[in-house]
Amino acid sequence: MTPLTAGATTPQPPRHPTRRLLRHLLPYWRRLLPAALAAAGSELAAAALMATAAWLITRAAQQPPLASVSLAIVAVRALALGRGALRYADRLLGHDGVLRAVAGFRTRVYEALVPLAPAGTPAFRDGDLLTRLVDDVDAAQDLLLRVLIPGAAACAVAAAATGTAAVLLPQAGVLLGLLLAVAGLLVPALVLALSRRAGHTEQAARGELAALTLDLIEGAADLAAYGAQDRAHGRVRHASARIAALERRKALTTSLASAVVLLCQGGAVVGVTWLALRAHADGVLSAVHLTVLAVLALVSFEALAPLPAAARRLSEVRASAGRLAVLFDRPPPVVDPPRPARLPVGGPVGVDIRGLRVRHRPDGPWALDGVSLRVPPGHRVVLLGASGSGKSTLIAALMRFVPYEAGSIRVGGRELREVSGADARRAITGMTQDAHVFHASIRANLLLARPDATDADLSEAARAARLLEWIESLPDRWETHLGGDGSAMSGGQRSRLLLARALLADPPVLVLDEPTEGLDPRTAAAVLTDILDATRGRTTLLVTHERSGLAAADQVVTLTGGPHPAPEVICQ
């Protein structure tokens, strides 16, 4: 069995996604380097504190004059203070540098997304994908803060400890360096490889649970009516148990890494101490250095402790980086012509669509197959059609969000293909189906359409959309903050706000895509009547599946067909 909706064009996974992500972040090295140095310094101070204290104690045991250990006493106190201060500096510098890098990276991602909105990537059709995309961008933060900076600190400590040990006793240095390499390089590499493999099974199980849960909640009535609730619940329980079983299995391998690091530490302590004791017995190594070596072996592994977790995080970051790389590689659906023509704007403009053919994939079925439609200047044309008949595709083609392969769209006599997308949208815009209400004031949400609009313009547009009374009844009036995709207002108010925005933009050709979607029939009819009232005399294309409230339209046209049969426009 194959899923019906599997994308026909699965892009090749991009190569070296993490490296590409890093390339975006490296310009901030000037900010990140001090953080890494502070982190390394803090870890080195911790190790040096113990080593110096060990030196101090062993030297003192030889009962020399006080003067010969006074420097060590000062050093121990300084290191103890320095450790905390460096750690504080490391965390502050690290976060500051990383947030700067992420701020820059966000701008890059935004710029990459601009030509793709809305048809170039599925993220704009799916809120979950969009949220994940934003989380992916933030994964860059973890790459630096949780992987690279602790990694750099661990390297510094390992190198310093190995170097010091090698100077004191070469064979001890070799052993310590070897075991540090196993714990700090081999173990994280194995963790990385393992988590990459385990990730797929678990992801599939989680996807299954998500789908079944959605079925359970959204399909509750259908399940109850057909007595299938218990079966559906059984399936959810089963999927949940499967995830628990996978996680239990993973539990032992996950903590194994930390155990192996500790085992290496044990091996290093015993081995280095053994070598040092023999060297001391042979008279090659002083008693003071004997303790210092043992303590070095003990403390040098502490900086390695975060590495297994860092490796696990790295495998997640890699997945995020892969998705972002796909995004950066995506071609824009519509490319501007090399020398765009100007669109003659001014005076009433009409739209003439002939034989328009559009499809969403080069090898896909036609979403629009030979559609013809004329909107004369100053006329309000209503385009009716069932969901999936291609109405929104037509609007997207008019706004140059999707390309058309055949046919023509002429606006004011000019072929739309020959003008730039920005120019086309200056002439043809309005209310799209995915229109967004921003987390901002009502004023800011409206001004978006025309930044230079006066208060009088705003009031005029709101009045035409029959929103003015509501706005003026609010305690903060125009400054009322709208949050969470406009969830502070009702569906009707949301539609009216989007309508007011479209009216404020006042483009030569106004398009309104399903302005009553999600409204109850009575409100829908009222909104439609108001829209037709407010657009009198403007060139308007109104797309809807409502059939009531359209009496005032100059012309009503039906778009038939779905994804399978060839659609065509029937003019009445």
Partner 1 sequence: MKPVERRLLRELPVLRRHMTYSAALALFGAGLVVAQAVLLATLLADGFAGRGSGIVLPTALGGVMALRALLVWARGGLARRAAADAKHALRDRIARRLRHTGPLDLAARRHGETATLLTRGLDALDPYVVGYLPTMTATAVVPLTVVAWLGWTDWASALIVVVTLPLIPVFGALVGMHTARRTARQWRLLARLGGHFLDVVAGLPTLRAFGRERHQTRVVGEMADAHRRATMRTLRVAFLSSFVLETVATLSVALVAVPVGLRLLGGELDLRTALIVLFLAPEAYLPLRAAGAAFHDSAEGIAVAERVFAILDEPGDRSADSGDGTRSAASQDTRPPHPSRRALLSLDEVTVHYADRAAPALHQVSLSVRRGEHVALIGPSGAGKSTLLALFLGFVAPGVGRVVVGGTDLADLDADEWRAQVAWVPQRPRLFAASVADNIRLGRPDASDAEVREAARAASADLFVEALPEAYDTVLGERGAGLSAGQRQRIALARAFLKDSPVLLLDEPTAHLDPESEAAVTRATVALMRGRTSLVVAHRTSLLPHADRIITVRAGRLTPAQPPLATQLVTS
Kindly identify the residues of this chain, within the stretch 496-515, that bind partner 1 according to CB under 8 A: 501, 505
Specify the residue, 9 or 63, whose C-beta has the smaller distance to partner 1: 63
- Interface with partner 1, residue 155, by CB under 8 A: no
Stretch that binds partner 1, among 17-25, 97-105, 152-160, 411-419 (CB under 8 A): 97-105
Shortest approach of partner 1 to residue 161 CB, angstroms? 17
Contacting partner 1 (CB under 8 A), which of 37, 44, 47, 137? 137
Contacting partner 1 (CB under 8 A), which of 209, 319, 488, 526? 209
Specify the residue, 23 or 522, whose C-beta has the smaller distance to partner 1: 522
Show the tokens assigned to 473: 């009844």
Report H helices in 300-337.
Answer: 307-329
Contacting partner 1 (CB under 8 A), which of 178, 243, 319, 468? 243
- Interface with partner 1, residue 254, by CB under 8 A: yes
What 3-state class would DSSP assign to 359?
A: strand
- Interface with partner 1, residue 91, by CB under 8 A: yes
Contacts of 389 (CB under 8 A, 6+ apart): 559, 560, 561, 562, 567
CA distances from 90 to 105, 146, 309 (A): 22, 12, 19
Q: Which of residues 305-364 bind partner 1 (CB under 8 A)?
A: none
Shortest approach of partner 1 to residue 374 CB, angstroms? 22
Specify the residue, 20 or 545, whose C-beta has the smaller distance to partner 1: 545
Stretch that binds partner 1, among 192-200, 210-218, 410-418, 455-463 (CB under 8 A): 210-218
Q: Sort strands 569-571 and 428-431 into parallel, antiparallel or unpaired.
A: unpaired
- Cis link prior to 348 (omega < 30° from 0)? no
- Nearest residue to 428 (alpha-carbon basis) of 394, 391, 384: 394
- Interface with partner 1, residue 8, by CB under 8 A: no
- 37: left (phi > 0), else alpha (psi -120 to 50), else beta? alpha
Cα(471)–Cα(479) distance, rounded to whole angstroms? 9
Segment holding 406, helix H or strand E: strand 406-411
CA distances from 187 to 244, 246, 264, 418, 496 (A): 25, 22, 10, 58, 60
- Interface with partner 1, residue 27, by CB under 8 A: no
Residue type at position 39: A
- Nearest residue to 43 (alpha-carbon basis) of 71, 78, 84: 84
User: Phi and psi for 438 in degrees, rounded to 5?
Assistant: -80, 155
Shortest approach of partner 1 to residue 12 CB, angstroms? 23
Residue type at position 452: D
What 3-state class would DSSP assign to 244?
A: helix
CA distances from 155 to 242, 312, 430 (A): 39, 18, 57
Q: Which of residues 452-471 bind partner 1 (CB under 8 A)?
A: none
Give the strand order in the sheet containing 351-359. 366-375, 351-359, 406-411, 414-415
Binding mask 406-445 for partner 1 (x = CB under 8 A): ----------------x--xx--xx-x-xxx-xx------
- How many residues bind partner 1 (CB under 8 A)? The answer is 150
- Interface with partner 1, residue 476, by CB under 8 A: no
Stretch that binds partner 1, among 254-262, 311-319, 343-351, 358-366 (CB under 8 A): 254-262
Shortest approach of partner 1 to residue 274 CB, angstroms? 6
Cα(203)–Cα(206) distance, rounded to whole angstroms? 5
- Interface with partner 1, residue 100, by CB under 8 A: yes
Q: Which of residues 543-572 bind partner 1 (CB under 8 A)?
A: 545, 560-565
- Interface with partner 1, residue 110, by CB under 8 A: yes
Q: Which of residues 223-242 bind partner 1 (CB under 8 A)?
A: 223-229, 231-233, 236-237, 240-241
- Interface with partner 1, residue 131, by CB under 8 A: yes
- Interface with partner 1, residue 159, by CB under 8 A: no
Contacting partner 1 (CB under 8 A), which of 255, 337, 361, 477? 255
Cα(475)–Cα(36) distance, rounded to whole angstroms? 50
Stretch that binds partner 1, among 13-21, 51-59, 351-359, 532-540 (CB under 8 A): 51-59
Shortest approach of partner 1 to residue 260 CB, angstroms? 7
Shortest approach of partner 1 to residue 15 CB, angstroms? 26
Q: Which of residues 271-290 bind partner 1 (CB under 8 A)?
A: 273-274, 276-277, 280-281, 287, 290
Stretch that binds partner 1, among 153-161, 341-349, 352-360, 516-524 (CB under 8 A): 516-524
Contacts of 285 (CB under 8 A, 6+ apart): 168, 169, 276, 279, 293
- Interface with partner 1, residue 474, by CB under 8 A: no
- Nearest residue to 164 (alpha-carbon basis) of 287, 39, 49, 297: 297
- Interface with partner 1, residue 5, by CB under 8 A: yes
Shortest approach of partner 1 to residue 440 CB, angstroms? 8
- Interface with partner 1, residue 1, by CB under 8 A: yes
C-alpha R_g of the chain:
33
